Structure 1
Amino acid sequence: MADWISRDDRLPVPVTAYGPLHLLARHVHRLSDTGQAHEAITAADAYLVIARIVRDEKSVRFLIQGKMYALLALGRVNEAYPLAIALLHSQRAAGSVLGEAKALCDLARIHLLGGHYVDCMRNLARAGVLLGTAPAETDRHRSALCSFATAATAAELYEAAAGAYEQLRHSTSSFDLVHAVTLLYWGLRLAHVGRSEEARSRLRRSAEITRAWLETDPDPTITAMHALALAKLGETTVAEKLARSVIMELRAGGSHQYARMAHLALGISLRAHGFPQEARREFIAARDLTEEGSRPDERPIIRFELALTALDLDSGQASRDLFETVEGQVRELWRLRLQRLAMLRQARQREETEAARARAEREILRDPLTGLGNRRRFDLLIGAVSPAREAPLTLLLIDLDHFKAVNDIHSHSVGDLALREVAAILRAHCRQGDEAVRYAGDEFVIFLGGDAEAGSEVGERIRMAVAEADILTDLHMTVSVGVATWSSGMTGEQLFQAADSRLYAAKWSGRNTTAA
């Protein structure tokens, strides 16, 4: 491949963070996003066969995700659940922190649909902690954070969703409008439970975002959002005009959510202007459109506005009883929402405590000079080698040649530099599942998940890499490597003794040698 590249700068396939078949996976996602769920499932099943044959694991995960989204769109939650679990395990096995966070968010949505709120909040909390540890300002981080915001929105956790969208807005304006929608519904719900000042704060922020967009993009969906915020803020004359201008276009275009917003804005404005009967018709029109699918928080919002309008139409006992009933339901739903929010915060605290404990344990098992595992970590790993294990395991015991002379001639600080350089080389040659540790002063061990041939190849590559490395201008190091492979019935101690005897042979053969 290197020779081929040297003759031509082009690569045979585009290099991306996704697998070579990612365009097939994108096609599945596009079908799911555009309402073609059945077609998405059929395509995903066909493409998965191809991706598995060519072992394109990244595309396999992306395809499973697309199929899961399509199943959720069809309400087939029970079929989506095992896919979400498989995806989570796959992302963990691949060591993808952001992939795991995104899978946890998707799983949280599924638990929410099933009414399993404890599991939902636990997964969301875990995802939030992982997102906090991963590098930000990347496409993968934005994608995972967007999934977190989507799941939080579905659970009506406006605080968490708005916080996530606020983070996303710092890197791109693409999330401005979903942030404005979150603030809008949050403000409406706050108004309905009597928290007027908090409601106005959210509604004003939503109106500011949509007003800025309307200056350059007079889109009817943005207009509907802006009209609803203004109507609830009391700017009903402008809100009525804006809502009337887009209702029919939104209905004709199938933009049901935004058509509902326009009907709500018009209804609130008409009621404020003294036309409760006309307002009632608008709210009923909004309610009828929920049959096409709606957010979980839209129905209580519409129901409250209808009950408030019924009170305007008739202040008799029946209307007062109806309003009190609806108001009680709205407050109960809000109480349950706050309960979920408390569950999320408690789960987040537990996850953060667990993460801190895990970090402390890792520090105990980490060599401070090289960043590799230390002798304590080695003891744990070698002690876990079972005589009845099934997976292949090869031990590489690596010793720096004439290291004492380096300390004596160049100083201990240079010796530390050499150790760090060698550790970096070992780390670079470890694959997923392999682990390097500093066993003693200038001795290192690699636990390699592979057979004797793989161990010999890795050992020889490490030996050559160290020999070619420039530690200092006048300092070149070499290493001797002993390689031993586990066989049935062998204990960890026996495996280490076998590797130690190979290392001894490498030393006696003249050093700078790999003995297997």
Structure 2
Amino acid sequence: MEGLPVPATAFGPLHLYALRVHRLANTGHGHEALAAADAYLALARLCGDRRTIPFLVQGKMYANLYMGRLHEGAELAQELLRMHRAAGSALGEAKTLCDLAHFDVLRARYIDAMRGLARAAVLLDAPHPGRDRRISALCSFAEAATAAEMYEIASDTYEQLSEATSGFELVHATTLLNWGVRLDHIGRHDEGATRLRRSAAITRRHVDQYPDDTGAAAMLALALAKLGDVVPAEKLAREAIMPLRTAESFAYARMAHLALGIALRSQGGLPEARREFVAARELCAYGARPDEKSIIRFELALTALEQDDGQANRDMFDAVEGQTRELWRVRLQRLAMLRQARQQEEAESARARAEREVLRDPLTKLGNRRRFDLLLNRIDSGRLAAPLVLLLVDVDHFKAVNDAYSHTVGDRALREVAKILRAHCRADDIPVRYAGDEFTVFLRGDLEVGREVAERIRAAVAKADIIPGVRLTVSVGLAALTPDMTGESLFRAADDRLYAAKFSGRNTIAF
């Protein structure tokens, strides 16, 4: 691929193609996004651009989400989750768990969704170096919470995002707006008004700064209409409706129709108000969330009751109001499910951390002898199978180093060797401090892969300035697991090769 006309980035060389897929998906060009993603994936695999492949799969996933192809999107989310776990990317795993939870919410698989969000929350609570990737994961967390109508969770997350970076104020205002309207519909008017005022304050600042943003104007109009400030609400809504419909910005157009309907109803224009609510309901065909449909249904039923308070309309309104309260109760159940799942994940995470500490060497932070024995047992039980290569790494003349420079210097040398081992291990490889100055690596791959890794480790140690004035080296023996081997026989085979490396003069590998 010499001469490939792409800039160097921190991502893969084809990353700009992935960005194009995401832009197409985000702007409603789903079919084009899918076609482009498939073409670019073939190119990325051909040139070995492993870093761009997950971003392309993610773009396909979002295209399916926005097109309502939930089964296909969820399958891509599962594929992406496997990629991030294999790469050891905790933030990538957290973001994809949130995206998968979003699909599960839309498919009414709430137990799975809450488990995924709980796992993601625990991962996001841990410290991570990637600020931008954490922001991206939090954004997916907030979007999934919003889809599940867990406004409390979404609002708290958007506040975190707003503290970290600009650009999330309007989406936070939208969450507060829907939250406030839903609270008003179940009779909690003061609490609803508090959220509506916060939403209006955020949106008004944006409208003052960007007066041509008709989407923000529609949001402000709806908040003002629900707060009773109907004259400016009507003006804002009337001016926003046609530009929003022309631009096919249907989510904001629904808000504008709702705002105008509420304003007209408050001024006695009941038939005109009903027309606006019907228009909003018709636009629900273009990607409306369940809570939007519930809001429109409630406003229509209330308008019908005000037009004619006969028994039929009263019964219809009572039914809609009862359904609204039941949906709110179910929403609260989801919040309780998430809290319970979060507690279970935290307990499991704490248990896993405790187990890791028991299996960790305190000096080098690698696995310890107990971890080594457990891995041999996994080989014997068939849970750790070929392709697998065992590397035995021994520091040459280490006793002389301890005698000449002290155990403190020797410990520092062992920590540095351990760092080199970790640097040459992939997510599925397991480095272990076997005993003293002896290390092992359980390496996923065949003997050729093991030989290459062993040689890189040997060369890296020989090149490193671990102890000033002293050339520290290692000898490495390696053996591949075969069907007839037990864990013990694999270890003996690698140990025999280590002895051969030592016997041939050290600072070498044998296989």
* Counterparts in 2 of 1:506 and 1:79: CA distance versus 1, 3 Å: closer
Residue 208 (structure 1) shift:
1.8
Pick from 490, 496, 500: which aligns with 2:491?
Answer: 496
Cα distance in 1 for partners of 2:248, 2:498 equals: 73
Alignment of 1:257 onto 2:251: yes
Aligned to 2:421: 426
Q: Secondary structure at the match of 1:438?
A: strand
Pick from 30, 33, 42: which aligns with 2:23?
Answer: 30
* Counterparts in 2 of 1:248 and 1:515: CA distance versus 1, 3 Å: closer
Cα distance in 2 for partners of 1:455, 1:394 equals: 6
Aligned to 1:7: none
Aligned to 2:457: 462
Aligned to 1:513: 508
Cα distance in 1 for partners of 2:464, 2:129 equals: 33
Cα distance in 1 for partners of 2:439, 2:130 equals: 36
Matches within 5 A, 1:182-221: 182-218=175-211, 219-221=213-215
Matches within 5 A, 1:163-174: 163-174=156-167
Aligned to 2:174: 181
Residue 231 (structure 1) shift:
1.9
Aligned to 1:323: 317
Alignment of 1:485 onto 2:480: yes
Residue 479 (structure 1) shift:
2.4
| Greater Cα shift, 165-174 or 332-341 | 165-174
One-letter identity of the residue aligned with 1:336: V
Cα distance in 2 for partners of 1:380, 1:494 equals: 15
Cα distance in 2 for partners of 1:387, 1:488 equals: 12
Q: Secondary structure at the match of 1:396?
A: strand
Q: Secondary structure at the match of 1:399?
A: strand
| Greater Cα shift, 33-42 or 156-165 | 33-42
Aligned to 1:339: 333
Pick from 61, 64, 72: which aligns with 1:68?
Answer: 61
**Alpha carbons 1:387, 1:488 under 8 Å: kept:** no
Alignment of 1:292 onto 2:286: yes
Residue 56 (structure 1) shift:
3.2
* Counterparts in 2 of 1:136 and 1:237: CA distance versus 1, 3 Å: farther
Cα distance in 2 for partners of 1:290, 1:32 equals: 20
Residue 17 (structure 1) shift:
4.5
Q: Secondary structure at the match of 1:173?
A: coil
Count residues in correspondence: 509
Alignment of 1:361 onto 2:355: yes
**Alpha carbons 2:22, 2:59 under 8 Å: kept:** yes
Cα distance in 2 for partners of 1:255, 1:73 equals: 14
Aligned to 2:304: 310
| Greater Cα shift, 396-405 or 332-341 | 396-405
Residue by residue over 1:415-441, the C-alpha shift from the partner in whole angstroms, topping out at 9 and shown as x without a partner, is 221111111111112233222111112
After TM superposition, the score normalised by the length of structure 1 is 0.91
Q: Secondary structure at the match of 2:366?
A: coil
Cα distance in 1 for partners of 2:310, 2:369 equals: 81
For structure 2, the residue ranges without an aligned partner over 5 or more in a row are: none
Cα distance in 1 for partners of 2:8, 2:379 equals: 38
**Alpha carbons 2:379, 2:385 under 8 Å: kept:** no
Pick from 390, 400, 403: which aligns with 2:398?
Answer: 403
Residue 369 (structure 1) shift:
1.0
Aligned to 2:343: 349
Q: Secondary structure at the match of 2:434?
A: strand
Residue 341 (structure 1) shift:
1.6
One-letter identity of the residue aligned with 2:439: F
One-letter identity of the residue aligned with 1:513: T
| Greater Cα shift, 45-54 or 214-223 | 45-54
One-letter identity of the residue aligned with 1:63: L
**Alpha carbons 1:137, 1:171 under 8 Å: kept:** no
One-letter identity of the residue aligned with 1:197: D
Residue by residue over 1:85-106, the C-alpha shift from the partner in whole angstroms, topping out at 9 and shown as x without a partner, is 2222222222222222222223
Cα distance in 1 for partners of 2:449, 2:276 equals: 71
Residue 361 (structure 1) shift:
1.0
Alignment of 1:443 onto 2:443: no
**Alpha carbons 2:386, 2:482 under 8 Å: kept:** no
Q: Secondary structure at the match of 2:272?
A: helix
Cα distance in 1 for partners of 2:101, 2:381 equals: 40
One-letter identity of the residue aligned with 1:310: A
**Alpha carbons 2:176, 2:199 under 8 Å: kept:** yes
**Alpha carbons 2:233, 2:260 under 8 Å: kept:** yes
Alignment of 1:371 onto 2:365: yes
| Greater Cα shift, 102-111 or 362-371 | 102-111
* Counterparts in 2 of 1:425 and 1:46: CA distance versus 1, 3 Å: closer
Matches within 5 A, 1:104-123: 104-123=97-116
Residue by residue over 1:24-46, the C-alpha shift from the partner in whole angstroms, topping out at 9 and shown as x without a partner, is 33333322222222233333333
Alignment of 1:42 onto 2:51: no
Residue 454 (structure 1) shift:
3.2
Percent identity between the aligned chains? 65
CA RMSD of aligned residues (A): 2.6
Residue by residue over 1:209-246, the C-alpha shift from the partner in whole angstroms, topping out at 9 and shown as x without a partner, is 11221221111111111121122223223322322332
One-letter identity of the residue aligned with 1:293: G
Q: Secondary structure at the match of 2:238?
A: helix
Q: Secondary structure at the match of 1:394?
A: strand
One-letter identity of the residue aligned with 1:442: D
| Greater Cα shift, 190-199 or 47-56 | 47-56
Runs of 4+ in 1 over 4 A off after TM superposition: 10-13, 386-390
Residue 12 (structure 1) shift:
7.3
Cα distance in 2 for partners of 1:73, 1:485 equals: 47
Alignment of 1:100 onto 2:66: no
Cα distance in 1 for partners of 2:462, 2:355 equals: 34
After TM superposition, the score normalised by the length of structure 2 is 0.91
One-letter identity of the residue aligned with 1:364: V
